[in-house]
Structure 1
Amino acid sequence: MHSPLTRILGAAEHLFIDHALFRYIYLNLHRVSPNMERAAQPSPLHIRAAARRGVKTVINLRGERNCASYLMEKKACEENGIKLINFGITSRAAPAPEQILAFDQLLSEIEYPALMHCKSGADRAGIASALYLLLRENSSFAEAFAQLSLRYGHIRQAKTGILDATLMAYAADAARTNVDFKTWVQDHYDPAEVTRSFHSSRLANIFNDRILDRE
């Protein structure tokens, strides 16, 4: 059993170190499709609300971590009958083909409705939502690409713009060959080339990394 001091320290870490105080004001929660939502890191209060909306699965794009926010999320999911799946991805590198295909497999296995989240709901939640639309909903590229926008707090001029560059690389090839996204990932996608061709803005990186303190 956790001591009162441990609970107080955990709550302080959750609120101030992991910035949950801001997420209580604005969770950055949006509906991607009738069966999928995206958000920032949910609190136990948000998990309970998701359960009332019928959410069956939460995909944690931050991955399993030894911190208060994760432990509180895990406990809240258990208490509310929600399956918590940890699928860590990065916001500052072109995703590996194997990771995209593993995410596609995951999306084919989970119980819906589902919710995906990262820390702020801007970058990793954005690329995951775009992948979900391309892989599982047969959505247009424009609809998927819109998941990475300033509307959600995503800054494509910063290092996180590598996620936009990944999707744009697909769009360029698809315009020439009409290849579908999954085939492109399997047979044509070159994350090293995407990385070489992408350049971020120093000022945007300062704002994104130091002021917003994004992961």
Structure 2
Amino acid sequence: MSRARAWRDSLLRDHAYFRLAWSNFAEVIPGRVYRANHPPPWRLERWVREHGVQTVINLRGTKYSGSDALSRAAAERLGVDHVDFAFESRGAPQRSRVLRFASLYRTMRMPALLHCKSGADRAGLAAGLVVLLE
């Protein structure tokens, strides 16, 4: 997907125009774990610079959208690990998925950023799990 097409898809189909000015960014574990909505590339770059983010966990799972293409490209350019890990945005997660997340959490490079589309449901669930795991 070309960069121009990725931006068009991100802004229009994925409603990223809402996320250009709003980030829903919060610290979960001081200096180690943050949560947010799906960041545009320039915001991810700022968080890598300001907070030392080493791993990005995309809680939306593997999607072939402009937002994800832009995020993967930014993470690669910045030398940041990018992991797709799907949590449901509605309903309780499966036990097996929670256990896989716990395993991922124990092995990922820190500091880490957990994000979903809006930074509330899936990111909130993952943030709660992180607090319990600590």
TM-score, length-scaled by structure 1: 0.59
The secondary structure found in structure 2 opposite 1:89 is coil
Deviation at 1:9, TM superposition (A): 3.0
Give the equivalent residue in structure 1 for 2:67: 69
Decide which of 42, 47, 69 is 2:44's aligned counterpart. Answer: 47
The secondary structure found in structure 1 opposite 2:56 is strand
Aligned length: 132
Identity, in percent, stands at 41
Structure 2 residue 36 is matched with structure 1 residue 36: no
Q: 2:99 corresponds to which letter in structure 1? A: L
Q: 1:72 corresponds to which letter in structure 2? A: L
Higher helix share: 1
The secondary structure found in structure 1 opposite 2:27 is strand
Structure 2 residue 15 is matched with structure 1 residue 12: no
Gaps of 5+ in 1: 138-215
The secondary structure found in structure 1 opposite 2:34 is strand
Deviation at 1:8, TM superposition (A): 3.1
Q: 1:85 corresponds to which letter in structure 2? A: V
Give the equivalent residue in structure 1 for 2:81: 83
Higher strand share: 2
Between the aligned partners of 2:65 and 2:93, the Cα distance in structure 1 is: 25
Give the equivalent residue in structure 2 for 1:107: 105
Gaps of 5+ in 2: none
TM-score, length-scaled by structure 2: 0.93
Task: List, as ranges, runs of 4+ consecutive aligned residues in structure 1 with deviation greater than 4 Å.
Answer: none
Give the equivalent residue in structure 2 for 1:25: 21
Q: 2:47 corresponds to which letter in structure 1? A: A
**Cα distance per residue 1:115-168 (max 9 Å; x no partner):** 000000010001010011012x2xxxxxxxxxxxxxxxxxxxxxxxxxxxxxxx
The secondary structure found in structure 2 opposite 1:62 is coil
Q: 2:15 corresponds to which letter in structure 1? A: H
Q: 1:45 corresponds to which letter in structure 2? A: W
Q: 1:107 corresponds to which letter in structure 2? A: Y
Q: 1:118 corresponds to which letter in structure 2? A: C
Give the 5 Å matches for 1:1-215: 6-34=2-30, 35-52=32-49, 53-135=51-133, 137=134
The secondary structure found in structure 1 opposite 2:91 is coil
Between the aligned partners of 1:8 and 1:56, the Cα distance in structure 2 is: 27
Between the aligned partners of 1:132 and 1:72, the Cα distance in structure 2 is: 26
Larger radius of gyration: 1
Deviation at 1:36, TM superposition (A): 0.4
The secondary structure found in structure 2 opposite 1:37 is strand
